[in-house]
């Protein structure tokens, strides 16, 4: 049986980081992929949005499967799928093959975040889950902090395939770690969790819960603002501002430092202020920063600082909102944590995938679509939260 230890927290951090690392590591190579495969920015961006689509769909299965069979065996199965798909990515000879392999890779990768969050809920309980998720999120942010910088070096030194070699090796190490060190945390297996009718009835319970929807939409829209930047940043910073892949990686890391700051603030203040106040405060901060980013793009001559500075505060707000919204959404559902986490992840990734596709189709025509999408997503975070979450549910 898994217990709340530092070692377990470190392992869960690497598992939850598998998703961000899979998107952020190869970001500096996106313009290179357009050249190598002789295609446009929209097609290359699909390797990101299709990844999120696969991530979203697979989560609907992982939650119920883990509720029935346990977190550990389902986690192992997902990691094996991820390893095989990573090999397929590095062997791709066309953009269509890479897009297909990325979809399968996402199916495996989403086991980490979905089951990682559920394990946190299993082991730490509802009260401490928000704090634990905040610290896991802060440590997890090392992936997007280090990933693009490392990916830039790998791309320049060894080619774009080197990124997927590293992901394959990373997943192989995780398979070994889960096999030897991860105990089972699901104390209430549900033999009927995978029945189709039961699955949809469970999902219906969540979808009619206004508080659950409010927290999930706040989380999903907040993440969509971040993913919009992830989707378009390489084409804007490398294409428009002339950064090298290596310099892009370091600038991307500066922006992600805002997310780390936000998660650490959230972890330190959640007991004093409560999760709901941090969600609302973070949402308002993000809305102001997103609006400033759009205004600077429209009325100030193009400058790197006009992109990076407001985006730093957007990512800081994401760090405040996401772990607290996730914990509050899952709190009432101890016996259905896997299914609740799966639907939450599906909606989060589905919204972000749509935002990414929108950015991908517009970023080739100009940079304006990126700050516009970030602004819209951030403005909707506090609006959806305040409209859907009843005030009497606000608590520490």
As a dihedral over the C-alpha atoms of residue 166, residue 143, residue 236, residue 34, rounded to 10 degrees, the angle is 20
Q: So what's the pLDDT on residue 206?
A: 92
CB 76 within 8 A of CB 25: no
Percent of the chain having pLDDT more than 70? 92
Q: Report how far residue 277's alpha carbon sits from residue 270's, in angstroms, rounded to the nearest whole number.
A: 9
Residue 1: pLDDT band (50, 70, 90) is: very low
pLDDT tens sequence across 217-259: 999 999 999 989 988 888 888 877 888 888 888 888 888 889 8
- For residue 293, pLDDT over 90 is answered with yes
Q: What would the pLDDT profile of 309-321 be if each residue is shown by its tens digit?
A: 999 999 999 999 9
Name the residue with higher pLDDT: 287 or 200.
287
Residue 239: what pLDDT?
A: 75
- In this model, does residue 336 exceed pLDDT 90? no
Q: CB of 380 within 8 A of CB of 221?
A: yes
pLDDT at 79 over 70: yes
Backbone CA torsion sign across 127, 12, 30, 250: positive
For the whole prediction, is pTM greater than 0.85?
A: no
> What pLDDT is attached to residue 288?
97
Work out the pLDDT band at 82, boundaries 50, 70, 90.
very high
**Mean pLDDT score, 126-146:** 68
Among the residue ranges 118-132, 165-179, 312-326, 337-351, the one predicted with the least confidence is: 118-132
Q: Could you tell me the domains of the chain?
A: 6-389 (1.20.1250.20)
- Across residues 323-329, what is the average pLDDT? 90
Q: What is the pLDDT of residue 90?
A: 93
CB 52 within 8 A of CB 352: yes
Residues in the chain: 396
* Residues 95 and 63 sit within 8 Å (Cβ to Cβ): no
Note whether 36 and 155 are within 8 A (CB).
Answer: no
Range from 7-11, 19-23, 135-139, 226-230 carrying the lowest mean pLDDT: 135-139
Is residue 392 over pLDDT 70? no
User: Does position 126 have pLDDT exceeding 70, yes or no?
Assistant: no
More confident residue, 136 or 327: 327
What digits encode the pLDDT tens for the residues 147-188?
888 998 999 899 999 999 999 999 999 999 989 887 777 777
Res. 394: pLDDT tops 60? no
Q: Is pLDDT of 384 > 60?
A: yes
Distances from the Cα of 147 to the Cα of 28, 107, 173, angstroms = 10, 21, 17
- Residue with token string 């859907």: 388
**pLDDT of the residue at 122:** 75
User: pLDDT tens for residues 100-115?
Assistant: 999 999 999 989 887 8
* Spatial separation of the C-alpha atoms in residues 33 and 41, rounded to whole Å: 9
Res. 4: pLDDT tops 60: no
Which residues in 93-121 are b (16+ Cβ under 10 Å) and which e?
eebeebbbbbbbbbbbbbbbbbbbbbbbb
Q: Other C-beta atoms within 10 Å of 308: how many?
A: 19
pLDDT at 375: 95
pLDDT for the residue 337: 73
From first CA to last CA, the distance across the chain in angstroms is 29
């Amino acid at each position: 049986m898994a217990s709340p230890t530092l070692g377990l927290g470190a392992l869960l951090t690497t598992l939850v980081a598998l998703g961000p690392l899979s998107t952020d590591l190869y970001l500096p190579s996106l313009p290179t992929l357009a050249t190598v495969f002789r295609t446009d920015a929209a097609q290359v961006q699909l390797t990101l949005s299709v990844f999120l689509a696969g991530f979203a769909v697979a989560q609907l299965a992982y939650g119920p499967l883990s509720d029935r069979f346990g977190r550990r065996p389902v986690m192992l199965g997902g990691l094996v799928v991820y390893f095989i798909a990573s090999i397929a990515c590095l062997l791709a000879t066309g953009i269509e093959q890479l897009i297909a392999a990325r979809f399968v890779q996402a199916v495996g990768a989403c086991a980490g975040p979905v089951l990682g969050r559920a394990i946190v809920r299993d082991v730490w309980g509802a009260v401490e889950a928000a704090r634990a998720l905040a610290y896991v999120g802060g440590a997890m942010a090392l992936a997007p902090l280090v990933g693009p910088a490392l990916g830039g070096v790998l791309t320049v030194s060894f080619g774009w395939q080197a990124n997927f070699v590293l992901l394959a090796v990373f997943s192989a190490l995780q398979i070994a770690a889960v096999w030897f060190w991860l105990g089972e945390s699901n104390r209430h297996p549900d033999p009927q969790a995978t029945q189709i009718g039961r699955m949809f009835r469970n999902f219906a319970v969540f979808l009619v819960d206004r508080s659950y929807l409010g927290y999930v939409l706040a989380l999903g829209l907040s993440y969509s603002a971040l993913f919009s930047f992830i989707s378009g940043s390489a084409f804007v910073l490398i294409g428009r501002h002339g950064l090298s892949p290596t310099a892009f990686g370091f600038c991307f890391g500066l922006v992600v430092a805002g997310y780390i700051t936000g998660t650490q603030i959230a972890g330190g203040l959640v007991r004093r202020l409560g999760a709901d106040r941090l969600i609302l405060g973070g949402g308002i901060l993000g809305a102001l920063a997103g609006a400033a980013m759009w205004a600077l793009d429209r009325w100030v001559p193009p400058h790197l600082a006009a992109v990076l500075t407001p985006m730093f505060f957007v990512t800081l707000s994401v760090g405040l909102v996401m772990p607290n919204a996730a914990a509050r959404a899952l709190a009432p559902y101890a016996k259905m944590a896997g299914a609740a986490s799966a639907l939450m992840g599906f909606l989060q990734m589905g919204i972000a995938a749509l935002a990414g596709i929108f950015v991908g189709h517009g970023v080739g025509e100009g940079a304006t679509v990126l700050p516009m999408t970030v602004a819209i997503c951030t403005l909707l975070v506090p609006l959806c939260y305040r409209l859907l979450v009843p005030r009497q549910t606000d608590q520490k």
